[in-house]
Amino acid sequence: MSHLLEIKDLQVTFGGLNALSGLNFHIDEGEIVSVIGPNGAGKTTFFNTISGLVEPTSGDILFEDESIRGLDPNQVTALGIARTFQNVRLFPNMTIMENVMVAQHCRTSQNVIGALFQTKAFKKEEEEIRENAKEILSFFGSRLVGYRLDQPAFVLSYANRRRLEIARAMATRPRLMLLDEPVAGMNPKETAELTELIGQLRSEWGFTIVMIEHDMRVVRDVSDRVVVLDHGVPIAQGSYDEVSINPDVVEAYLGRPVENKS
Partner 1 sequence: MTEIKMAPAAKVLDQDWRNIFRWGAICAITLVFISLVGMPAKLDLRLIINPTLSLGYVSLFWIPVMFGFVASTHIALEGMEVSRPGMRDVLTGLFTGLTGSFGLVLLILGMNNFDITDPLVNWGPPLLDLLTTGRGIGTGILGWMAASAFLGMAGASLHVLTPLLRRIVSSAILGMISIAILEDAIDDLSEGFRLEWLVDLIYAKRGGLTNKSAIIVAIVMAAVSVLAQGKVKKAKANFFALEGPARKKWSVVLFAGTAAVVIILPMFAGGYVNSLLANVGIFLLLALGLNIVVGLAGILDLGYVAFFAVGGYSTAVLTSPQSPWFAPEIGFVPALLVSVVLAGIAGLAIGAPVIRMRGDYLAIVTLGFGEIIRLLFMSDFLKPYFGGAQGIVNVPGVELGFLTISGTDPKGVFYLVLAFSALAIYISWRLQASRLGRSWMAIREDEQVAEAMGINTVNSKLMAFVVGAVLASFAGSIMVARVGSVFPNSFMILVSIIILVVVIVGGMGSIPGVIVGSFVLIGVLGGPRQPGLLQEFGQLKLLIYGALLVFMMLKRPEGLVPSARRSQELHQDEFLQDAWFKGDDEADGSDEQTASAEGEGASV
Ligand X SMILES: Nc1ncnc2c1ncn2[C@@H]1O[C@H](COP(=O)(O)OP(=O)(O)OP(=O)(O)O)[C@@H](O)[C@H]1O
Binding site for partner 1 (CB under 8 A): 36, 51-53, 72-74, 77-78, 82-83, 85, 89-94, 98, 101-103, 105-108, 110-112, 114-116, 118, 122, 125-126, 129, 151-152, 154-155, 157-160, 168, 172, 185-191, 214-217, 243-244, 249-250, 253-254
d(CA 140, CA 130): 16
d(CA 259, CA 251): 12
* One residue of 44, 77, 195, 244 binding Mg ion per CB under 5 A: 44
d(CA 159, CA 120): 38
d(CA 118, CA 142): 32
86 binds ligand X (CB under 6 A): yes
Minimal distance in Å, beta carbon 120 to partner 1? 15
223 binds ligand X (CB under 6 A): no
214 binds Mg ion (CB under 5 A): no
Contact set for ligand X, span 10-29 (CB under 6 A) = 14, 17, 19
Q: Name the binder of 11 from Mg ion, ligand X, partner 1, none, CB < 5-8 A by kind.
A: none
Beta strands in 46-143 (DSSP E): 58-63, 66-67, 81-83
Query: By C-beta, is 2 or 151 nearer to partner 1?
Result: 151
* One residue of 42, 52, 56, 182 binding ligand X per CB under 6 A: 42
Q: Name the binder of 40 from partner 1, ligand X, Mg ion, none, CB < 5-8 A by kind.
A: ligand X
Residue 91's nearest CA partner among 26, 165, 37 is 165
- Angle subtended at Cα 261 by Cα 260 and Cα 262, rounded to the nearest 5 degrees: 95
SS3 43: helix
SS3 179: strand
d(CA 149, CA 96): 5
Footprint of ligand X on this chain (CB under 6 A)?
A: 14, 17, 19, 37, 39-45, 86
